[in-house]
Structure 1
Amino acid sequence: MAMEAQQIETLIREAFPTAKITITDLAGDGNHYAAEVIAEEFTGLNRVKQHQLVYAALKGRMDGPAGELHALALTTKAPE
């Protein structure tokens, strides 16, 4: 099952309301996306922890073979 870019952004925005979020569909199939998330909440956190927070915001949509989202390439950082 495919997922729309807007759904991904909405889930991330719920966790990071003031973040700058850019979602790109990499393959045009609704399963392979890239996301750039710039959020104050990432200040002082390493990239692994930042990515864990974003994956948690997706509320299981990437879990296992039945997940709605197959691949998400993440770029995360705190604002400069």
Structure 2
Amino acid sequence: MQPEEVKKMIETGLPGAQVAVNSDDNTHFEALVVCEDFAGKTMVKQHQMVYAALGDSIQANQIHALSLQTYTPQEWETARQS
């Protein structure tokens, strides 16, 4: 699976999210997801929302590993300024 496919799946599952996905081998991915829907949710819940957007791709081993960074737009702005 290509990083662009993973990006589109996350964007479809989390409309309005800003998403960046990288991979060196197309099975291990790093994703940065900035979404207003994350506001007030724990990091675990935010990650569950991203995993839900990916559907069966993880169970089907199309995605072997996924490293996530999730932020609200406000958190992302603060993190970028640090």
Contact 2:13/2:54, CA 8 A, preserved across alignment: no
Give 2:61's match in structure 1, choosing from 57, 67, 78.
67
Q: Secondary structure at the residue paired with 2:56?
A: coil
Identical positions, percent: 38
Q: 1:34 aligns with which of 26, 30, 43?
A: 30
- Which residue of structure 2 aligns with residue 7 of structure 1? 5
Structure-1-length-normalised TM-score? 0.87
Alignment-mate amino acid for residue 20 of structure 1:
Q
Larger proportion of helix: 2
2:27·2:65 contact (CA, 8 Å) conserved in 1? yes
Task: Tell me, yes or no, if structure 1 residue 55 matches structure 2 residue 15.
Answer: no
**TM-score, length-normalised on structure 2?**
0.85
* Matched-pair contact (CA < 8 Å) for 2:47–2:68: yes
Number of residues paired by the alignment?
74
State the shift of 1:77 in Å. Answer: 1.2
RMSD, aligned CA: 0.9
Q: Structure 1: which 5+ runs fail to align?
A: none
